[in-house]
Amino acid sequence: MAQSLYTSLPKSTTIFTSSTSPSCTLIFILTLCIISLYSLHYHNQQTPPPSPSTTAQHPPLISTFLNSASNYTISNYLRHLTLHPHLAGTSPSSAAADYVKTNFESLHLQTHVTNYSVLLSYHLHSSLTAHFSNSSTAVPLPLTEPGLGSDSGVVKPYHAYSPSGSAYGKAVYVHHGREEDYRALASAGVDVKGCVAVAKRGGGMSRNAVVVKAAEKGVVAVVMYTENNDRARTYYGGGVERGTVLDGVGDPLTPGWGASINGDVERLGMEDDEVLKRFPTVASMPISAETAELILGSLEGARVPHWWRDGDLFGNFNRVGPGPTFLNFTYQGENKMATIQNVFAVIKGSEEADRFVVLGNHRDAWTYGAVDPNSGTAALIDIARRYSLMMRLGWNPQRTIVLCSWDAEEFGMIGSTEWVEQNLVNLGSKAVAYINVDCAVQGPGFFAAATPQLDDILVVVTKKVTDPDSLDSTLFEKWRTSTDGPLIQRLSDVFSDFAPFLHHAGVPSIDLYYGKEFPVYHTAFDSYEWMVKYGDPFFHRHMAVAGVWGLLGLHMADDPILPFNYLSYATQLQNYTHSLSKLLEGDVSVHPITSAIQELEDAAKQVEDEMKKLRVEESEGHVLVLRRRMLNDRLMLAERGFLDTEGIRGRQWFKHLVYGPASESKLGFFPGVVDAMYGSSTSRGEKEEAKKKQEIIIQHEIWRVARAIQRAASALKGELT
């Protein structure tokens, strides 16, 4: 799982791809044409009745899916997948792809592999030495996990796409590296220019955001650590979190189009502005909490601000520096072209083969990947096994199911992004939903995030699956009683493979996982041994996630009417608008959005009535396949209405105006409006003229959101004005 890339990005960060701008308009026009062609070609034409072999007509097949779960098979899949580290673009990674492919083929599923040639980043050399004030000699600091032999195959901890470089300067602690953290340092008289910053992961900051902000402040290099709790440090002390510092998603050299390995493909040069802006200008590397403690404990200077005192290391230091400790930092990496492999299994739909239900998980890992991501890979293969069993019993889905094993997610969702970009028109007009599982099991507790029209079906499905930690209750009951805050989260952040589907293609999406966090994230200790000892000893949580994931796929593929509820979406948008209105304090009108939401709500109510009428008529024996398909297309395509061809200002690749990454806020909705509010804020001393200009920009972004909601309402109605 790639950590969030966009929770808090600096204003200067942009992702611009002019070549992708027309795609959303083209998709929208094509889909309206498709609906019109149905009406012209099939008017008064009788359609054959639906196949009797769907799960909707045969509920026992759902029981077959649930009852055929096997913790032994999932455990076995995971053990094989984690025998060796398998970093994307390497031979072990190719072997992992072959393992997934072989399993799909052994289940007699239609299987294929799509390769891409992309720019990946690898470690060559790194070192970090400290010059402490009480020592006359330089002290080498450990940069890798203890106990790993040179023959382990585990890559030394590094930040992919970090520039190579050396730096020498005083150490300074910058907390999470946020703007507010640097303000706190400045108010204490701390000058960070020319220093090597020590940053703690978290605070809503991606690795890229930390390094970019540090460069803005004059820092010459950055080391980052992840703080673990006492139990984690007892069992897995010395773990170092690898990761990427690339800005954005997808291959840097092919922004907006697929990096196909076959045929002629345009690739931008490394000196192209669109490429350069995705790379940080200051070198960085990860270190362990133990190494960070050595450095931080030696600092003098200003005291740590009291509101930073939130971690296990705080008791061991209370000064931020700079110095007197000096750090000598060296990192050398290599960016080079590599082949990545996406593996697919396709189960053709019996009635609507041109409608795609997509289930995906990435396969590549920084090290062994038992949690991240191969707990999900093992669950995906097991779903394939269970679907195959159902097919042998006579089942075929009504719509096509596509099982996807992505590559190079850890470098920035590259495999999934290249595939979405390459298949954008087909996905935009034919994809029903995307259901993602990255880390299937990290620990206890079920978590789900979704676009709001899928809330109801998530509840329905979790009521059918037994909770793995309380066998006398359903997963839903345990989930509901143990969750603080909203039951279902949203998908504004960018941390896994749902991002290209939702944020770029406008496909309704779900993300599922067990466990909020785990202490061996991106370290050499993310192994099968850790999973068996701590994560899921009996693999019951794996079975639960696979159960929810697979059942969602069955409902999306087989429910005669798609289980989408846009009244939930309208309600969620109303809540967002209420929160936005309070933040704006009446300076800017949100009326355009509230008016558009009313249109969406009216359309959603009409659709609900239409659904009920169709179900009654079908129960009376009427053949209504065409009407049902047209209704389903409207349900499927309404999400595309939230896309805007211009995208989010400064990050045009991200087209969704309700959910997407915002630069300066954790609000999680209307990213363009939020950017206008916080990214262009004015200080008290600036002129009223500047404030008015900002309000004009905010109002424009509000109108853009309103028009997006109107487009969604129009698609849901399916009628021309």
Which positions are catalytic? 409
Q: How far is CA 139 from CA 129, 136, 198, 248, 358, in A?
A: 5, 9, 17, 36, 52
Q: Say how far apart CA 1 and CA 11 lie, in whole Å.
A: 25
Question: For residues 285 and 223, is the Cβ–Cβ distance under 8 A?
Answer: yes
How far apart are alpha carbons 43 and 51 in whole angstroms?
Answer: 22
The CA distance from 254 to 233, in Å, is 41
Is the backbone peptide bond immediately before 324 cis, with ω within 30 degrees of 0? Answer: yes
Count CA within 13 A, CB hemisphere, residue 689: 1
* Rounded distance between C-alpha atoms, residue 285 and residue 124, angstroms: 12
Residue 548, token pair as written in the block: 């929810």
Kindly give the residue spans of alpha helices, DSSP state H, lying in 12-70: 23-42, 60-67
Tokens matching residue 708 = 């997006």
Amino acid at position 643, single letter: L
Closest CA to 564 of 494, 640, 625: 640
Nearest to 159 by CA among 206, 219, 217, 116: 206
Could you tell me where the beta strands, DSSP code E, fall in 363-504?
399-406, 431-441, 446-450
Q: What is the distance between the alpha carbons of residues 416 and 2, in angstroms, rounded to a whole number?
A: 13
> What's the rounded Cα separation, in Å, for the pair 126 and 135?
23
CA distance 675 to 666: 11
Cross-strand pairs, 572:
none
Task: Give the helix/strand (H/E) hosting 373.
Answer: none
In angstroms, how far is the first alpha carbon of the chain from the final one? 44
Query: Which residue type occupies 525?
Result: F
For residue 280, the 8-state DSSP code is: -
Instruction: Give dist(CA 435, CA 547) in Å, integer.
Output: 13
Say if residue 436 is exposed, middle or buried (CB neighbours under 10 Å; 0-12, 13-18, 19+): buried
Nearest to 182, CA basis, from 171, 193, 166:
193
- Helical (H) or strand (E) element with 267: none
Helices 540-558 and 71-81: angle between axes, nearest 10 degrees: 100
Residue 165, sorted as left (phi over 0), alpha (psi -120 to 50) or beta, turns out to be: left
